[in-house]
Structure 1
């Protein structure tokens, strides 16, 4: 059973990552899974009118990060240690992207997940990413993870 639901993850993003929180929507959280939407805007496009690679990387990173936090609780100091991404199809501009991710391993120190990125409304993925995160010890978690704050 996840420790954080959609509302808790949304609040966490707004509080700890306000600079990007409005770009993403937490659509679903499950056991070792999450579904996150990138609200595609002009800032996410590259010349030629397609969604940029860095924007797709951001979606994969945020999606797996939130899927991990849903399982372990709000630990803002968890950090990405590795990422590999394959770009498979050109997404159209002006259409949101969906990151459907699952956690493959959730250990004490490391978590590994993958994320398929879809253009909203299409079945074939536009990208696939594999990410690894280093998890801080609970004593090193951010102030937002203490019971008094959240």
Structure 2
């Protein structure tokens, strides 16, 4: 069971419960104040959780097949914080792959230097940076990577 933002045919999004291949559109529920997004529900979680739990268990609540609905990203973020360089081996492999040899270091030296840098980062605060809200995608969205990435 989960919360989602759905739309049909280009209409505005609405909040919904999703259970496997079925959805329950929540925009028509006055008890929930007709939410248009999952953020509307999350902002009032303490007030709506009991109603959502009851609807999730109610087979007669008006569940529909998921087919035909566009599933959007779960929230529309206002800000995104990202933590980089969290995969030690991946970062070391990237350092080696991008090393062109002009600095005189061998591949083994590049690997050792990158490993030492990653170990040093682990002992200190994480590397956090601001990302773009467009970095958040929906569950069925294509993720297009740059050709040189």
Q: TM-score range by the shorter chain?
A: under 0.3
Larger Rg: 2
Query: Larger % of helix: which?
Result: 2
